[in-house]
């Protein structure tokens, strides 16, 4: 009986130690897949500052959205020292049914003409998206507010499923 009690005690302690760890890992996974209620933007793509999640808002033209780094630009961003878990914040400039056209050094969207660069300011090659097409109903095209933003000019249209949330500018600096 004493031996059984010792085994139960060891198992009880193991459960007592491992259960909180399992719960913490589960919570971390849930947090990782749930969009944050606020994001801090330090990139020049949009005004630097804090962006608040706009719960219940749809992804429409002009919306500011957050997304995970598209696979196509991850090697470039990694070369800049940016961890792959840092989200990108961009503005929607075209939605399903609208046309986008990138040829040579120019991109044309419903919001206007935008320059496309082959190299960044340090002379590194940029992955450039080219093509002319109408976006599908589940696609959006994203741009930053600056000409040097790494956006859909370089990674192409984005599935709405890749959008992690719609945000509004809060405090900027």
pLDDT in tens, the chain (173 residues): 555 555 556 655 544 454 444 444 344 433 445 678 999 999 999 999 999 999 989 999 999 999 999 999 999 999 999 999 999 999 999 999 999 999 999 999 999 999 999 999 999 999 999 999 999 999 999 999 999 999 999 999 999 999 999 999 999 99
Note down the domain range covering 105: 35-172
Q: Is the dihedral of CA 147, 65, 125, 109 positive or negative?
A: negative
Helix (H, G, I), strand (E, B) or coil at 82: coil
Q: How far is 5 from 9, CA to CA, in rounded Å?
A: 6
Whether residue 155 is found in the same domain as residue 100: yes
Q: Provide the β-strand partners of residue 92.
A: 142
In this prediction the pTM is 0.80
- In this structure, the answer to whether residues 22 and 62 fall within a common structural domain is no
Query: CB–CB of 155/144 below 8 Å?
Result: no
Q: Is 74 found in the same domain as 87? A: yes
Residue 128: count of CB within 10 angstroms of its CB: 17
For the chain, how many structural domains are there in total?
Answer: 2
Q: Are residues 23 and 47 in the same domain?
A: no
- The answer on 48 and 22 residing in a single domain is no
């Amino acid at each position: 009986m004493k031996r059984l009690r010792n085994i139960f005690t060891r198992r009880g302690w193991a459960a007592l130690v491992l259960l909180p760890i399992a719960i913490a890992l589960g919570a971390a996974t849930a947090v990782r897949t749930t969009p944050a209620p606020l994001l801090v933007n330090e990139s020049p793509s949009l005004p630097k500052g804090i962006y608040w999640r706009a719960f219940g808002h749809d992804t429409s033209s002009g919306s500011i959205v957050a997304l995970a780094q598209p696979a196509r630009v991850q090697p470039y961003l990694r070369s800049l020292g940016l961890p792959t878990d840092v989200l990108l914040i961009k503005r929607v400039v075209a939605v399903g049914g609208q046309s986008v056209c990138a040829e040579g050094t120019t991109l044309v969207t419903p919001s206007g003409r935008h320059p496309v660069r082959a190299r960044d300011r340090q002379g590194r090659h940029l992955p450039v998206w080219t093509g002319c097409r109408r976006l599908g109903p589940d696609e959006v095209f994203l741009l930053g507010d600056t000409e040097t933003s790494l956006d859909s000019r370089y990674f192409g249209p984005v599935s709405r499923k890749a959008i992690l949330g719609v945000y509004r500018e809060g405090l900027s600096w």
